[in-house]
Structure 1
Amino acid sequence: MFFLRSRPQRQPRNNDFELRLFKKRLVVAFIFMILLSLVLLGNLVYLQVYCYSKYQTRANDNRIKLVPQAPSRGLIYDRNHIVLADNRPLFSLEIIPENSRNLRNDIEDLKELLNLELESDDIDRITERTRFQRKFLPVTIAENLTEIQVATFAVNKYRFPGARIEAKLKRYYPFSETFTHTIGYVARINQQDLSQLEARGKINNYAATNDIGKQGIEKYYEDLLHGISGYREVEVDSHSREIRTLNQVSPTPGNDITLTIDARLQLKAQHLLHRKRGAVVMMNPRNGEILAMFSSPTYDPNPFVRGIKSREYRDLINNPDRPLINRVTQGGYAPASTVKPLMIIMGLNEELITSSTRFFGGPFFQLPGSTHKFRDWRKWGHGWMDIFRAVEISADTFFYDLAFRAGIDRINRYMNKFGMGRHTGIDIYEESLGNMPSKSWKKKRFKKDWVPGDTVSIGIGQGYWTATLLQLARAHAILTQNGRNIRPHLLRFASDPTGINPTTYIEPDENIALPVRDSKYWDYARTGMCLVINGPEGTGKKAFAHTPYTVCGKSGTAQIVGIKQDARYNASALKETHRDNGLFVAFANKDNPEVLVAVIVENMGGAGRVAAPTARAMLDEYFRIRNTPCTADELVALKEQYRAEEEQEDLERQKESKKR
């Protein structure tokens, strides 16, 4: 028997239910679409309205680029408006890799065509550099091309579609080594410079600048000389190629600086110190204007601008004559007898001596209870003297006695007022403090107590006392101005070439550095210095004979090594670097002095041999050219004249050495 399964009966469709369900789903989907549309519309409003400026800036950043433009650096002139630091066009050879058919071959062909000083390693570095930058950006092949090289490239440019010549302004010092220690130089910005600029908030102003002041005036007045950077607003494509310039803000050039230096006096100082180690500084003691400041030997700053080679810099560093040192502001020397007029001021004001003091100067001075003899420079002594004759003949025993009675504390206090052991305030950073010793200084430096014998040596500017030549000049300038503070300076004025900003000057300091009981004390010290030149026993009488102007001065002979008690100084038996230094300080005229000169000549014996004649020659030159203008052509002719004389002098020296 077969059983048949019955088929289930289908439920009838509920069309109304399905229709209601469909409508519900349709409503939900429609609401969801409306919500999504509202979200999209809201986001669109938010981006287009509320964030408009934000995204417009981002879009412009992708489309518009700011290209910084470096300002032209201010020029530096001497007081006669002769250019001492100039900006000259520097031609560099560049190549754009994407426009070159074969980059390495093009560089090698350019090397051969223009006779470039490129080694295989240099070419490797250039090609390697292109791997890490965009191909449309130029790469520098060579700098400082000559006019002949530029002309040769111009004729053959069609052979090198990717190469081009770019002209940039570069610093140039037309008188090379004559003003190096005064003006300094500029060189490429390094990481330390960048850190300092960032700390001072000036980094953006150097976006297009490659060089910065490194020494001297160039560094001290960097903010005045540099100027303000400009920029070009350019439109670029997606690969950052420039399409067109939209806007341009021109850079503001740096201020031009006029120095107090007279280039003729500077050349004279250089000529006088030819083949010598030493320095000359000449200034106006009334207002502190530096008229000449030369340190010998010197060096050419132009290689630092182009990028000095390692070998060149190593030669400067290893030179035993140390040309990198500015001997005017960084050389530490025993001031020797040049400080004796300053000691007179101290003694008078402390009532240790008077204008009528009488002192017997024997061959030596001894401390009470001591057998050590502090000998005078004249082995038989000087006999009876007053304060004027003591300065005139530079009697050591007089100042040994004065220093012993004064004590180091009083000497230190007065010499600090004269600027010893302190910065002079000159407007360059390269300045040493020297050393004005004290009891606490010796205890800290040597872990020993100060003894009376130390003070005795200080009385004649020896012992632990060291000073820079500029400190010595400033101290005597204070003496000529009856104690008024004198700030040496090199800036005469700075002027904005655009005429927008006011001219900058250095105002004279009217403060009194050293008040005294009686203003006659100043005249007493100056009278002693005038006797040095004009008195019957003056140590500078020979060097300044028959001057048409009235000079006052003081010589100094500084020992480098000690001499035994009973031994005599014999220069020929000593190494050259152990021989005495000669110093001389002089001012003219006697009444209301207008010029002061200080000279140091290393290891050439007493002051009368070289230092005093050098001071005389500088003063002669000052009065010869005073109030006389000078042109650049005249200065170049003067430099050539001095060079010819120096070459002749060198020839004569060679002949003498051959005879020996």
Structure 2
Amino acid sequence: MAAERLKDHSQESRTFTARAVIALLIVLIMLGVLVGRLYYLQVLQYDRYNTLSDNNRVQLQPVAPTRGLIYDRNGVLLADNRPSYSVTILKEEIDDLEQTLAELRKLIPLTDKEIERFRKRYHQRRRPFTSVPVRFRLSQQEIATLAVNYHQLPGVRVEAELIRYYPYGASLVHALGYVGRINERELQRVSEQNYADTHYIGKLGVEKFYEDVLHGQVGHQKVETNARGRVMRVLERTDPVPGADLTLHLDIRLQQITEKLLGDRRGAVVALDPNTGGILTLVSAPGYDPNLFVTGISNEDYSALRESDDLPLFNRAIRGRYPPGSTIKPITALAAIDGGGLTPDYRVFDPGFYQLSKNGRKYRDWKRWGHGWVDMKHALAQSCDVWFYSMAHKIGGEPLWNYLGKFGFGQVTSYDLPEASPAILPSHEWKKRTRKQGWYTGDSLNLSIGQGFMLATPLQLATSMAVIANRGRWVRPQMMKSAHRPEGAPVPLPQAKPLPEDVTLNHPEYWQEIIDGMVEVMHGERGTARRAALGAGYTIAGKTGTAQVVGIKQDEEYDAEKLAERHRDHALFVAFAPVEAPKIAVAVIVENGGGGSSTAAPVARQVMDAYLLGIDPTETEEKP
């Protein structure tokens, strides 16, 4: 029988004790590491992790400023801010974008174009936790539908924002311009910080030129958010500085009257105050509703505007380049007598045409049988082309383009109309540079009556009348009358370019000679616009004009009935009044309207009546 192995209890006790000690040491070491790590994080790294925690909990959000309002000279509101409701999506709160969009389309109508625009904005989002709009201008019914389905739409919100609203619509679009959704190209040229929460920017006209003034300064707020990024409360707030309000020289009553006077015809009217240069009315017809562009115009609406034969998107008043025709004859006559060596008594026999040589081309007068013997005063009154052909032949082209340049042609002299065109003032240098040709005598003859290469805008024509009314004193055409903030702080304005020098004549008495000739146009026995001045309670100085659209052969006679409507002559008229103390200078062009005396002059007369006498001719005409 084998001997039993006896247990060594003493050895087992020593082994157990050793193991227990080792285990205890390991536990103590691990506990020390844990306590040390806790001390490191809680004490030594407190500032760092406290900052990181705050950054996760507290966010600094921009607060967009309120855009400044725009008023007319009498305090009538022209550009307002109105609340609009949009449905938006917050990227951080959604799991499946496609499913969210599909659910939205079940609740409210969303077009494919709106979805496409949303996707573009969604992927171009500049900041985290910034909602992206899907559709604007929700109806009350749509807002209610979304509200009762919020629990099914995480990340979807209905947000209110102020958007631009133009109460007078198409009446002012070419004068004010409009704002629209800001794009990436525009973001690159503005302060990213100041436009951090801004969705709109001036696109055209006054809204674009005074963008910095109207926009204001962005504010900020510290907000506490939950783990999903939703705002729980506002901790601190620095209010934004609202944009400055603008008051324009524009008279909305006169603007609407002028628009009605043009009716369905294509054309433009610009009226200035010669004393200040303030633009009283600026109409380009037809127009379009700028409210369509604020939140984004549909493809159908934009295509209709772009493809229209009447070009409603085109601002004829400041960009339309037309042959000025006889409306510049007061200036070319001034060039002849003040800078060309002729006198106001210079007489010419008009048989109905003018020839540079005996058997050469016939430069025809508008009156087929001619005007007989005429001097400068009668040449202006009757718009005798032959007198101007003759004087241009004698003095050459240089005095003509020099004097026309002094009155603002061929350049932009306005202050706050950024889209204004300089048009074309031809000269020897211009023709050599653009046509690679020399200047011919025939070019001088055409320039003397506002035809040939010369093109001018209605704004330039009105400006030239203001300079004549002031007897050479220049004023800058501009829309803005004043800018002001609610607290009265000064408003920094964009820098203006230098004005042209005042027109100083070699013979100052010739101002009266030119003005007398223009008064004869309106009030003389044989003045071309005498019918338009009948019954006027003030003295008008004016000049009619007819601009040829298509050429006519030498032996042909102009017959409007045989031409397509868009090939007929443009009707032009320029004037200022009262002559003794001018208060308004006006230029009118009616495209394909025929004669300036029969079509454009009556419009100008009624515009002047409305401004000087307070008469609304559109109301008078409606009464039996």
Q: 8 Å contact 1:494–1:503 — kept in the other structure?
A: no
The one-letter code matched in structure 2 to 1:267 is Q
1:371 is matched with: 360
Once the two structures are TM-superposed, the CA of residue 606 in structure 1 deviates from its matched residue by 0.9
Q: Which of residues 225, 231, 241 is equivalent to 2:220?
A: 231
Q: 1:173 to 1:357 in 2, by over 3 A?
A: same
Q: What CA deviation, in whole Å up to 9, does each residue of 1:498-543 have, x standing for no partner?
A: 3333597999999742111222111110100000010000000112
In the other structure, the counterpart of 1:186 is: 179
How far does the alpha carbon of each residue in 1:387-413 deviate from its partner, in whole angstroms, 9 at most, with x for none?
Answer: 111110111010011112221222111
Note closer, same or farther for the CA distance 1:357–1:53 as it changes in structure 2 (3 Å cut).
Answer: farther
Match of 2:315 among 293, 305, 326: 326
* Aligned-partner Cα distance in 2 for 1:527–1:569: 31
Structure-1 separation of matches of 2:65 and 2:592 = 47
How many Å separate the matches in 2 of 1:436 and 1:125?
A: 44
Counterpart code for 2:138:
L
Instruction: Give matches, 1:170-319, under 5 Å.
Output: 170-197=163-190, 202-236=191-225, 240-319=229-308
Counterpart residue number, 1:92? 86
Q: Does 1:80 align with 2:74?
A: yes
Structure 2 match to 1:394: 383
Q: Distance in 2 between matches of 1:206 and 1:70?
A: 8
Aligned to 2:110: 118
CA deviation map 1:331-357 (0-9, x unaligned):
000010011111121112125322333
Say which of 411, 423, 441 aligns to 1:452. 441
Cα distance in 2 for partners of 1:283, 1:121 equals 43
Secondary structure at the aligned position of 1:92 is classed as: strand
Alignment CA distance shift 1:90-1:333 (3 Å): same
Note if contact 1:493-1:506 (Cα within 8 Å) is conserved in structure 2: no
Counterpart Cα distance in 2 of 1:217 and 1:291: 14
1:477 matched to 2:471: no
Residue by residue over 1:443-495, the C-alpha shift from the partner in whole angstroms, topping out at 9 and shown as x without a partner, is 22222222111111111010011101111111111111111112111001011
Q: Distance in 2 between the 1:153 and 1:470 partners? A: 50
Query: Equivalents in 2 of 1:375, 1:144: separation in Å?
Result: 60
> Conserved in 2, the CA contact under 8 Å of 1:496 and 1:502?
yes
**CA offsets per residue over residues 25-84 of structure 1, 9 Å max, x none?**
xxxxxxxxxxxxxxx9xxx9xx979xx999986665455321011000001111111111
Shift of 1:440: 2.1
* The 10-residue stretch of structure 1 (292-301 or 120-129) with the greater mean CA deviation from structure 2: 120-129
* Residues 592 and 506 (structure 1), Cα distance of their counterparts in 2 relative to 1, 3 Å cut: farther
CA distance in 2 between counterparts of 1:450 and 1:165 reads: 67
Question: Which of 554, 557, 569 is the matching residue for 1:568?
Answer: 557
Q: Contact conserved, 2:406 with 2:501, CA < 8 A, in 1?
A: no
CA shift for structure 1 position 235:
3.8
1:245 CA displacement: 2.8
- C-alpha distance in 2 between matches for 1:129 and 1:452: 59
Of 522, 547, 550, which residue of structure 1 is paired with 2:511? 522
1:106 positional shift: 7.4
Instruction: List per-residue Cα deviations over 1:231-289 (Å, max 9, x = no partner).
Output: 11234466545454331101110001111110011101111122111000111112111
Shift in Å at residue 138 of structure 1? Answer: 5.1
After superposition, the Cα gap between the structure-2 partners of 1:573 and 1:247, relative to the gap in structure 1 and judged at 3 Å, is same
Matched, 1:147 2:136: no
**Aligned match of 1:66 in 60, 64, 73?**
60
Q: TM-score, normalised by structure 2?
A: 0.85
Structure 1 range deviating more: 73-82 or 355-364: 355-364
Question: Quick one: distance in 1 between partners of 2:169 and 2:367?
Answer: 45
Q: 1:584 to 1:128 in 2, by over 3 A?
A: closer
What SS does the aligned partner of 2:60 have? strand
Q: For the residues of structure 1 that align with 2:189 and 2:145, how far apart are their CA atoms?
A: 42
Going from structure 1 to structure 2, the CA distance change for 1:166 and 1:440 (only over 3 Å counts) comes to same
Q: Is the 8 A contact 1:280 1:600 kept in 2?
A: yes
Equivalent positions of 1:401-420 (< 5 A) are 401-420=390-409
Whole-angstrom distance in 1 between the partners of 2:94 and 2:88:
11
> Where do 1:608-647 residues align within 5 Å?
608-625=597-614
1:457 aligns to what SS in structure 2?
helix
Secondary structure in structure 2 of the residue aligned to 1:204: coil
Tell me if structure 1 keeps the 8 A contact 2:375–2:387: no
Range that drifts further, 124-133 or 461-470: 124-133
Separation of aligned partners in 2, 1:271 and 1:185: 22
| Structure 2: gaps spanning 5 or more residues | 1-35
Write the distance in 2 (CA, Å) between the matches of 1:373 and 1:136.
76
3-state SS of the aligned residue for 1:398? Answer: helix
Conserved? CA contact 1:106–1:160, under 8 Å: no
Aligned to 1:533: 522
Equivalent position of 2:572 in the other structure? 583
What is the RMSD of the two structures over their aligned residues, measured on CA atoms?
Answer: 3.6
The alpha carbon displacement at 1:580 in A equals 0.1
The amino acid across from 2:342 in the alignment is: I
Q: Distance in 2 between matches of 1:170 and 1:58?
A: 37
Distance 1:247 1:258 in 2: 34
Aligned to 1:166: 159
Amino acid at match of 2:503: L
Q: In 2, Cα distance between the equivalents of 1:513 and 1:571?
A: 41
Match of 1:360 in 2: 349
**How has the CA–CA distance of structure 1 residues 572 and 511 changed in structure 2, closer, same or farther, with 3 Å as cutoff?**
closer
**SS of equivalent to 1:586:** strand
Matched residue SS, 1:312: helix
Letter in 1 for 2:110: L
C-alpha distance 207-351 of structure 1, shift in aligned 2 (>3 A): same
8 Å CA contact 1:103, 1:127 repeated in 2: no
Cα pair distance change 1:472/1:241, threshold 3 Å: same
Cα distance in 2 for partners of 1:130, 1:383 equals 75
- Contact 1:485–1:509 (CA<8 Å) still a contact in 2? no
Q: Which residue of 2 aligns with 1:437?
A: 426
- Distance, in Å, in 1 between the alignment partners of 2:590 and 2:121 is 51
For residues 315-343 of structure 1, the C-alpha deviation after alignment (integer angstroms, 9 at most, x for no partner) is: 22211111111111100000100111111
Residue pair 2:213, 2:493 contacting (<8 A) in 1 also: no
1:549 aligns with 2:528: no
> Are the equivalent residues in 2 in contact too, given 1:299–1:324 (CA < 8 A)?
yes
* Residues 465 and 370 (structure 1), Cα distance of their counterparts in 2 relative to 1, 3 Å cut: farther
Q: Deviations over 1:586-638 (max 9, x none)?
A: 11111121111110000121112211111111111112328xxxxxxxxxxx9
**Contact preservation (8 Å) 1:495, 1:504:** no
Query: What SS is found at the alignment partner of 1:170?
Result: strand
CA distance in 2, matches of 1:157, 1:224: 41
Q: Is the 8 A contact 1:493 1:504 kept in 2?
A: no
3-state SS of paired residue (1:609): helix
Q: Deviations over 1:569-596 (max 9, x none)?
A: 0112112221100000111111121111
TM-superposed deviation, 1:568:
0.2
What SS does the corresponding residue of 1:205 show, helix, strand or coil?
coil
Counterpart CA distance in 1 for 2:117 and 2:572 is 53
- Determine the structure 2 residue equivalent to 1:15: none
Query: 1:135, CA displacement in angstroms?
Result: 11
Q: Check 1:546–1:397 CA distance in 2 against 1; reply closer, same or farther (3 A cut).
A: same
